[in-house]
Amino acid sequence: MTALDAVSIITAKRDGGELSDAQIHWVVDGFTRGTVADEQMSALAMAIVWRGMTRREIAAWTAAMIDSGQRMDLTGLPRPTVDKHSTGGVGDKITLPLAPVVAACGATVPQLSGRGLGHTGGTLDKLESIPGWRADVPVSRMRDILADPRLGAVVCAAGADLAPADRRLYALRDVTGTVESIPLIASSIMSKKIAEGTAALLLDVKVGSGAFMKTLDEARELATAMVELGTDAGVRTVALLTAMDTPLGRTAGNAMEVAESVEVLAGGGPADVVELTLTLAREMVALAGLDTDPADVLADGRAMDRWRAMVRAQGGDPEAALPAAKHTETVLATTDGVLSRLDAYGVGIAAWRLGAGRARQGDPVQLGAGVVMHAKPGDAVTAGQPLLTMHTDTPEAFAGAAAALDDAVTIAPTTAEPIPLILGRVGC
């Protein structure tokens, strides 16, 4: 075999070539060990953004990222494992009510989650607003929680040895404009999910202004790539394509999204959050081979009991008051009419500018910051009524956040057709 080197791999992809399995393994392994430099991996990532990858290349890239670390072993647990992954959106707090609902239906939910970056929120940041709650759970404790019939679900950070190549590559992509690539996103997500060892996986692929994928065609292509990777690795995988032009629910911000999730578990909450939670839960329960109706465990309080037990198992106090921001400012409707557009990206940027999100990995977030939405698309509004309330500890952030919200709102004379929440499905 001829010797491999980073420059010829970069130029091969730059010129539209197909990389061999050996080249892919060599470059991912070298990058993980530090012998392929960050600038070389950045150049290769940019070449992949422009030239794409074949199905075989994506599979080899994913396998190389899995091989960069350890696989978790979730075999031998008493109930079937099923996980959910969302490609990320604004106000997407669905994991919080979903994990206890699915666990209460009899499945085991190993939910390795991430932190927010840019305009999209992160499940771990949201849960960390619960006093005492800890995202770091050692693998042995994770197994104990999953095996416990009163718990059966854990939402925690992935260990450092789970697909470490992805951790390094994701940080690099984030600062080199190379996040938006279907092969790179699919392999990033699926390397972590396959290494985690779940038997079944539901993917929630977001489509719209607040998502990575802006069109249904792109989202379907990403969903298909991920379902193929999962299925080829022996993980029963289904993807739903769901709308992300408007934020989910009525809040975008860490503590306020926890409060909204608890409302859902208590039998209330916004209709779109309830609908998406139950739709995803039904898919997960079916993937796990069970037949309990998730609506029943939500209605009779079993999901809420599970939530409280899960929060306590990770050190949190489910009854404690959640953090609130020190300052608020409200945006009013400028005219009478119907709210015809509330743009997810604009609301996400506003929440981020208020301090709910981070600009760089490792930055702190403000747990109480965010945006409360008093009206959603389709609602009639009158001039002067409160539309959106901004919350922050840093009032100098109001001007930038208000500018993002200004561009995010349209009030029209008449109602527009509502966009359905569920836009498509890929997989078995």
Residue numbers annotated as active site: 85, 166, 173, 188, 192
CB 124 within 8 A of CB 68: no
Residue nearer to ligand URA on the CB measure, 225 or 373: 225
Residue nearer to ligand URA on the CB measure, 32 or 292: 32
Q: Residue 225, interface with ligand URA (CB under 6 A)?
A: no
Q: Which stretch binds ligand URA (CB under 6 A): 125-133, 181-189, 303-311, 351-359?
A: 181-189
Token pair for 178:
């190379």
CB 68 within 8 A of CB 32: yes
Q: Residue 226, interface with ligand URA (CB under 6 A)?
A: no
CB 139 within 8 A of CB 147: no
The minimum distance between CB 402 and ligand URA, in angstroms, equals 29
Q: Which stretch binds ligand URA (CB under 6 A): 177-185, 261-269, 370-378, 407-415?
A: 177-185
Q: How far apart are CA 168 and CA 408, in angstroms?
A: 33
Judged by CB under 6 A, the number of residues near ligand URA is: 8
Tell which one of 26, 61, 170, 345 touches ligand URA (CB under 6 A): 170
Residue nearer to ligand URA on the CB measure, 129 or 188: 188
Instruction: Give Cα separations from 49 to 43, 221, 291 (angstroms).
Output: 10, 15, 42
Q: How far apart are CA 275 and CA 16, in angstroms?
A: 43
Q: Residue 201, interface with ligand URA (CB under 6 A)?
A: no
The minimum distance between CB 189 and ligand URA, in angstroms, equals 5
Tell which one of 188, 209, 251, 277 touches ligand URA (CB under 6 A): 188
Q: Residue 58, interface with ligand URA (CB under 6 A)?
A: no
CB 285 within 8 A of CB 102: yes
Q: Where are the strands (E) in 211-364, listed by range?
A: 236-243, 251-252, 327-332, 337-342
Token pair for 74:
């979730």
Q: Where are the strands (E) in 175-326, listed by range?
A: 200-207, 236-243, 251-252
Which residues touch 135 (CB under 8 Å, ≥6 apart)? 113, 124, 127, 128, 156, 157, 314
CB 111 within 8 A of CB 95: yes
Residue nearer to ligand URA on the CB measure, 248 or 405: 248
Tell which one of 185, 225, 258, 367 touches ligand URA (CB under 6 A): 185
Residue nearer to ligand URA on the CB measure, 188 or 242: 188
Token pair for 347:
């609301």
Q: Residue 27, interface with ligand URA (CB under 6 A)?
A: no
Which positions touch ligand URA (CB under 6 A)? Answer: 87-88, 170, 179, 184-185, 188-189
